[in-house]
């Protein structure tokens, strides 16, 4: 059985390396996980006044339906100023409301990210992990995945080396086991 995973890519660029990373993971997850990409670029800035009788703007309601309907959440983030992009924090805020109706609570979650730099989003993931825990997600802590993009290892959504493929497959397998364990 393939688990349905709501995938949040924290970079809005269509050609982002984190989007390509997500696509590479999706191919490796075939038969184990089904990826449902959650659009976060059209969410308005969080404003409590935009809730009308407990209903948010349509992009918010769409995002909440996707998360609510998923078995788990996978968040891939670049690193901006040693933290996560504001667009991800905004999605977390919308998804955690209205009070008592958080879409995040109890969801198995995993996080990762890719950067051209040597630290591979390590600092951003520290912030992301804390936020996911505070939102009530049940976060997979091991294995951690900090990836550095190089053209020798990654193409457009393709993994080019067997060593990298094994690392990523092990990560996907661990996430599938995590979802099974939490569910």
Q: Residue 24: which CATH number?
A: 3.40.50.360
| pLDDT score of 4 | 98
pLDDT tens-digit profile of 4-42? 999 999 999 988 999 999 999 999 999 999 999 999 999
Q: Domain count of the chain?
A: 1
Does the model's pTM come out above 0.85? yes
User: Does residue 176 register a pLDDT over 90?
Assistant: yes
| pLDDT score of 158 | 83
83 in Cβ contact with 115 (< 8 Å): no
| pLDDT score of 157 | 67
Contacts of residue 177, Cβ cutoff 8 Å, sequence gap at least 6 = none
Domain residue limits at 16: 3-182
pLDDT tens-digit profile of 112-168? 999 888 777 888 999 999 999 999 999 999 999 988 898 888 876 689 999 999 999
116-143 burial, b at 16+ Cβ within 10 Å, e below that, comes to eeeebbebbbebbbebbeebebbbbeee
Residue 33 has which token pair?
Answer: 């996980």
Q: Which of 114, 126, 76, 70 is nearest to 95 (CA)?
A: 70
Q: How confident is residue 82, by pLDDT bands cut at 50, 70 and 90?
A: confident
d(CA 95, CA 64): 6
Compute φ and ψ for 173, nearest 5 degrees.
-60, -40
Contacts of residue 27, Cβ cutoff 8 Å, sequence gap at least 6 = 157, 158, 159
Residue 139 has which token pair?
Answer: 């976060």
């Amino acid at each position: 059985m393939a688990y349905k995973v709501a995938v949040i890519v924290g970079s809005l660029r269509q050609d982002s390396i984190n989007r390509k990373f997500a696509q590479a993971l999706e191919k490796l997850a075939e038969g184990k996980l089904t990826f449902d990409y959650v659009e976060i670029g059209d969410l308005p800035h969080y404003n409590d006044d935009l809730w009308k009788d407990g209903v948010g703007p349509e992009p918010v309601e769409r995002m909440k339906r996707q998360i609510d309907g998923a078995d788990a959440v996978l968040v891939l983030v670049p690193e901006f100023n040693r933290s996560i992009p504001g667009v991800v924090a905004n999605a977390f805020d919308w998804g955690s409301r209205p009070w008592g109706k958080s879409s995040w609570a109890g969801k198995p979650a995993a996080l990762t990210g890719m950067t051209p730099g040597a630290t591979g989003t390590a600092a951003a993931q520290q912030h992301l992990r804390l936020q996911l825990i505070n939102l009530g997600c049940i976060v997979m802590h091991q294995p951690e995945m900090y990836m550095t993009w190089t053209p020798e290892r990654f193409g457009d959504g393709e993994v080019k080396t067997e060593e990298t493929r094994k690392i990523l497959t092990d990560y996907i397998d661990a996430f599938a086991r995590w979802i099974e364990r939490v569910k």
